[in-house]
Structure 1
Amino acid sequence: MTENLIQKYNIPVPRYTSYPPANFFHDHFTQTDYLKAIELSNHANPSHISFYLHIPFCRHLCHYCGCNSFPMMKQENIDRYVRAIFKEIEMVKPLLNKNRKIAQIHYGGGTPTVLPVSVLKEINDRLLDGFETIQSPEIAIECHPGYLDEKYWQDLTGAHFNRFSLGIQDFDEQVLKTANRRPSLIPVEHIFQILREADAKINMDFIYGLPLQTVESFSNTISKAIELNPDRLVTFSYAHVPWVSKRQLILEKAGLPDSETKKALFEQASKLLADAHYLPVGMDHFVRKEDELYQALHAKQLHRNFQGYCTRRTTGQVYAFGVTGIGQLNSAYIQNVKTIQEYMEVIESGNLPIAKGYTLTDEEQITRAVIESLMCNYAIYWEELSTHLQLEKDEILKAIRYKESELLAFQEDGLIHFSEQGIEMTPKGKLFVRNVAASLDKLMENTTKKFSKPV
């Protein structure tokens, strides 16, 4: 990858964790629209159910975070928020067909582990009550190890969770200090021992592109992670979006790595992981060969929703609870209100806390399938997609922004292999899969929306 290509393609484009991207959601979406989308979801694929819980509180806010996070509140307000979560569940869950099965439950934030384990277990109990699950459903929680003692970890393993994402971010304490992130309270090795004894799956999350990170320091971090042997390791590219989170301006003043250094951080980490027999999945995940994510990728059947990468076995339509939570149904997206106070007040009034949403047209549902295939599997095969969507190839091409001249330009730069059969990303092109996806997106024509850069 030459510097010229990096400069050419390192331009703002959507991350495509959803299609359309979340900044296309609008505030004309109503409770009636949501109820209609829920009814349609009972008769749509995927039929499985995925629940997302947003716990927005953090003991302190990391400077890099662009998530919907809030400082800790008084205990009475946290208790009130939890009661609102329970009430929202009671409002939505009865509308779901009882013959459907739960495939996923995921807790994000904020920091879900600010809540007592007893509360987390009670939420899981209520979600699971009355529904069957698929075999080995994924019940996952994002954990901040900076505040969790041995007893908390032990109790957490008894609260239905079977996958834990450890938000390490970096093992270099100077990097963490600059980012206002607290290192693990107890040795990470001990956390692994507790979770392994409970037969749990472990993810480790890292961020590259932070101030003070060097190729050498980040290599040391990744090497230490490899020694711990997590099931999955995630290297998130720091997304600098100060118009979303002004806290990020602090990191800007501290000095962010340039794109060449950031690329080198990722490439060296990827090499170390490859040498340790971790295989890349999607833009940021590394897994073992036996992991079902890799097997799905190998079969070109990897999926992604707001819970992250998943397989056809575990993928489900997402019903989200909590402030700013985003539901992801077959025909629509639904985003809850953005402030904790408003969320609690709307729920307490007996209404669903909808702030924004988006109803997809038939054409957009086709585009979503095309872009999801490229983003997850680094390939689009028109015949296979035609079978999956039960549409002719010409109908698919008509729905998307299909410009052969642009695809040929990507091919000339060595980013894709392009033919009548489909599109395949090359190894060096994978870094810019978002650019290729954007070229197929009609919504990107003359858009004024803001996005982060790939590198």
Structure 2
Amino acid sequence: MLTFDRNLLDKYNVAGPRYTSYPPATFFHNEYGNEDYKESVIVSNQEKPENVSVYIHIPFCPQLCTFCGCTTYTGMGRNVIESYIDTLIKEIDLVSKDVSNDRKLTQVHWGGGTPNAISAKLIRKVTDAIKRNFTFAESYEMAMECSPAYLDYKMVDELKDMGFNRISLGVQDFKQEVLAAINRKEPRVPVKEMIAYLRKAGFSGINLDLVYGLPFQTRESFNETVAQALEANPDRLVTFSYAHVPSVMTRQKELEQYGLPGADEKIAMLEDAYNMAVDKGYVPIGMDHFAKPNDEFAVALKEKKLHRNFQGYCTRETTGQVYGFGTSSISQLFTAYSQNEKTIKEYMERVEKDGRAVVRGYKLNQNEQIVRQIINEVMCNYFVDFKQVATEFNVSVSEVYKAVDFQLEKIQSFINDDLLELNNDELTVKGQGRFVIRNIAMAFDPALKSGKGQYSKTV
């Protein structure tokens, strides 16, 4: 049984990026626009990975969860939702013209918002547009983030018929008191029964997401939630730490009336969840993900081929360069990031007028690409071979060290605490180093000194 070293966690519990991208989205700027994105998409056809990933953002929610940090809207009528879908398809039709048909689409991810709360008819319209504009690989992943409150057996059958094969259930917590505090409805179908039905319907991947650090959660109550989640037998279990940043997401301020678990109690929740999942045979992925031993994530971690993007962990075989569609969606290409307008009105007006709605973005130079590679390897695989990175970028090892502004004193504390080892240009994260992995990644981020952005605590 693993016991977290509280002194180490306290020592390293500072604010820092989550590194779903490098540089983080706080570095994106509005000098990057529609024409830049068009150029970046064309250039991406000659870059790696060759595979194509598509992200679809559905910003609508029947009701807003007060803990959520996503760009979402509630109270929109059917006409607005249908118009948004038509605009989304126009964006897909136009942008896809610059993506080579020789490239295979290996991944489609729907996020939100609550994608499964819109009608199956509208989901099918978008899915048909994706199939019309991209060349699907023989083996692909098509996933949707779903709220159990709006998922029934009929919708499952519809999604399977459209080609979806992975579902992520945002349960968050099983306790009614917790769900009421965050303004979230209970599942329409009991989660264990839904997972059994999804498996029977032929879904090859079922994720179950929980959040710890919410109002009314205690160590004991969250243990019960984790036990219930494991009993449901998902392929992957995720235990997200709630990031309370009301200065950024004002709706989160409402939660303070109930009180929130303290740092010590949150650490205990994660510790228990970790031990319970491992005891059930799940393999730890990162700090808070768990996968069955035969799951592609567990296999990829073993082979040091795990990857990560804005949608979460992924494998190098499945993920490609990401082309995002819809409000606030982010495209992650090899040498550029691009983000769309956040409001529905501005997004729709700009797509109708120009076919694209880019509001900001960022072009990476080679040094930033090297830093991104180092941080990805640290965050995902707990291992970096600097010689291999040098080979991939056709530079010397010393140039790799220079790109990350390497200084031994930046990692000496981790080495002294037996969390990190550096030998023969190979970096290995050890022991409980995975629980301060964001801190370790920060040691290889030369852009941190610019001080851009507000970040949540790392632990």
Please say whether Structure 1 and Structure 2 have the same fold, judged by a TM-score greater than 0.5.
yes
Residue in structure 1 matching 2:127, options 105, 124, 129: 124
Distance (whole Å) between structure 1 residues aligned to residue 8 and residue 260 of structure 2:
21
Residue in structure 1 matching 2:146, options 140, 143, 148: 143
Residues 255-293 of structure 1 deviation map (CA, whole Å, 9 limit, x = unaligned): 111111101100100100000000111232110111111
SS of equivalent to 1:15: coil
Aligned to 1:301: 305
* Residue identity opposite 2:325 in structure 1: F
Residue in structure 1 matching 2:112, options 109, 112, 120: 109
Say yes or no: does 1:441 pair with 2:453.
no
* Residue identity opposite 1:99 in structure 2: D
Q: Kindly tell me the number of residue pairs found equivalent between the two proteins.
A: 455
SS of equivalent to 2:189: coil
Distance (whole Å) between structure 2 residues aligned to residue 61 and residue 374 of structure 1:
35
Say yes or no: does 1:332 pair with 2:336.
yes
Aligned to 2:414: 410
Aligned to 2:170: 167
Aligned to 1:19: 22
1:448: how far off?
4.1
Q: Percent identity?
A: 43
In structure 2, the CA distance between the partners of 1:92 and 1:446, relative to structure 1 (3 Å rule), is closer
Residue in structure 2 matching 1:186, options 175, 178, 189: 189
Residue in structure 2 matching 1:347, options 351, 375, 381: 351
Residue in structure 2 matching 1:314, options 318, 336, 339: 318
C-alpha contact 2:84 2:344 (8 A) present in aligned 1: yes
C-alpha contact 2:142 2:166 (8 A) present in aligned 1: yes
1:123: how far off?
1.1
SS of equivalent to 1:207: strand
Aligned to 1:375: 379
Aligned to 2:269: 265
Normalising by structure 2, we get a TM-score of 0.96
In structure 2, the CA distance between the partners of 1:131 and 1:56, relative to structure 1 (3 Å rule), is closer
C-alpha contact 1:48 1:103 (8 A) present in aligned 2: yes
Aligned to 1:99: 102
Aligned to 1:422: 426
| Farther-moved stretch of structure 1 (133-142 vs 335-344) | 133-142
SS of equivalent to 1:29: coil
In structure 2, the CA distance between the partners of 1:130 and 1:327, relative to structure 1 (3 Å rule), is closer
Residues 7-59 of structure 1 deviation map (CA, whole Å, 9 limit, x = unaligned): 32111000000101011111110212111101110000001000000000111
Distance (whole Å) between structure 2 residues aligned to residue 3 and residue 225 of structure 1:
26
C-alpha contact 2:27 2:452 (8 A) present in aligned 1: no
| Farther-moved stretch of structure 1 (388-397 vs 165-174) | 388-397
C-alpha contact 1:378 1:425 (8 A) present in aligned 2: yes
C-alpha contact 1:153 1:191 (8 A) present in aligned 2: no
SS of equivalent to 1:158: helix
1:219: how far off?
1.1
* Residue identity opposite 1:25 in structure 2: F
Aligned to 1:453: 457
Distance (whole Å) between structure 2 residues aligned to residue 425 and residue 135 of structure 1:
36
Distance (whole Å) between structure 2 residues aligned to residue 301 and residue 389 of structure 1:
17
Residue in structure 1 matching 2:233, options 229, 235, 254: 229
Normalising by structure 1, we get a TM-score of 0.97
Residue in structure 2 matching 1:291, options 295, 304, 308: 295
1:343: how far off?
0.6
Residue in structure 2 matching 1:206, options 198, 207, 210: 210
Distance (whole Å) between structure 2 residues aligned to residue 149 and residue 128 of structure 1:
25
1:413: how far off?
2.2
Distance (whole Å) between structure 2 residues aligned to residue 318 and residue 146 of structure 1:
29
* Residue identity opposite 2:286 in structure 1: G
SS of equivalent to 1:193: helix
In structure 2, the CA distance between the partners of 1:234 and 1:438, relative to structure 1 (3 Å rule), is same
Aligned to 2:179: 176
1:426: how far off?
1.8
Distance (whole Å) between structure 2 residues aligned to residue 423 and residue 175 of structure 1:
41
Say yes or no: does 1:398 pair with 2:402.
yes
Distance (whole Å) between structure 2 residues aligned to residue 356 and residue 234 of structure 1:
30
SS of equivalent to 2:208: strand
Distance (whole Å) between structure 2 residues aligned to residue 218 and residue 36 of structure 1:
48
Root mean square deviation of aligned Cα: 1.4
C-alpha contact 1:306 1:318 (8 A) present in aligned 2: no
Residues 52-99 of structure 1 deviation map (CA, whole Å, 9 limit, x = unaligned): 000001111111101111113011111110111011011101111010
The runs of 5 or more residues in structure 1 that have no matched partner are: none
The runs of 5 or more residues in structure 2 that have no matched partner are: none
Say yes or no: does 1:30 pair with 2:27.
no
C-alpha contact 1:12 1:453 (8 A) present in aligned 2: yes
C-alpha contact 2:37 2:338 (8 A) present in aligned 1: yes
Distance (whole Å) between structure 2 residues aligned to residue 340 and residue 68 of structure 1:
10
Distance (whole Å) between structure 2 residues aligned to residue 216 and residue 400 of structure 1:
42
* Residue identity opposite 1:196 in structure 2: R
* Residue identity opposite 1:276 in structure 2: K
1:130: how far off?
5.0
* Residue identity opposite 2:453 in structure 1: K
1:446: how far off?
4.1
In structure 2, the CA distance between the partners of 1:253 and 1:418, relative to structure 1 (3 Å rule), is farther
